[in-house]
Amino acid sequence: MNELSLYLLDIVQNSIKADSKNIIINIIEDTKEDLLSIEVIDDGKGMSEETLKKVTDPFFTSRSTRRVGLGIPIFKELCETCLGSFQIKSQEKKGTRLIGTLKHSNIDRPPMGNIVDTIYTLIINDEEVEILYNHSFNDKKFTLNTKELKQILDGISFKQMDVMMWIKDYIKEGLRFIKEEEL
């Protein structure tokens, strides 16, 4: 994977496959501290201690369709290569918390990629999953909460064309706002 947004997509899809109903995505970009942090917290099935020990092994997967699970092991390796850290904690029947940090300016750090389409896809794909997305850039923060969106929409589906377009534009404008100082 050559973009961080693709790692995020893979990690959140793991959360959804683990029957999560609430997922928190926190992205922190702090150029002053030279830090980029990606955190995903879910309330899915969680993992046993045995599975948790194996999850960073590229030859371990809980799926039967493929014999390898590369997303988490490669993300861990990327974090460590970019002078950061990787941590995953999980408790059965409670959920999982994964956090990866990278040195923001590291030459080996891939670009963020199309985070707008990634978050948009995650929101539109499964309306039953509540997503709280927080993205900060230095001192500015953007938040999107699907639970609040559902209350505002009062029963209107996210998959209605004008709602889909609004969600995508909202994410795009929110990220543009927090990164204004960069322009």
With bands split at pLDDT 50, 70 and 90, how would you rate the model's confidence at 66?
Answer: very low
Comparing CA positions, the residue from 56, 83, 82, 86 lying closest to residue 71 is: 56
Domain that holds residue 39: 4-182
Give every CB contact of residue 114 below 8 A, 6+ residues apart in sequence: 3, 5
With bands split at pLDDT 50, 70 and 90, how would you rate the model's confidence at 62?
Answer: low
Domain holding 147: CATH number?
Answer: 3.30.565.10
Q: Look at the chain and report how many structural domains it folds into.
A: 1
Q: pLDDT at residue 30 above 60? A: yes
Q: Which pLDDT tens digit goes with each residue over 161-172?
A: 999 999 999 999
pTM of the model: 0.92
In the numeric block, the tokens 């970019």 are attached to: 82
With bands split at pLDDT 50, 70 and 90, how would you rate the model's confidence at 67?
Answer: very low
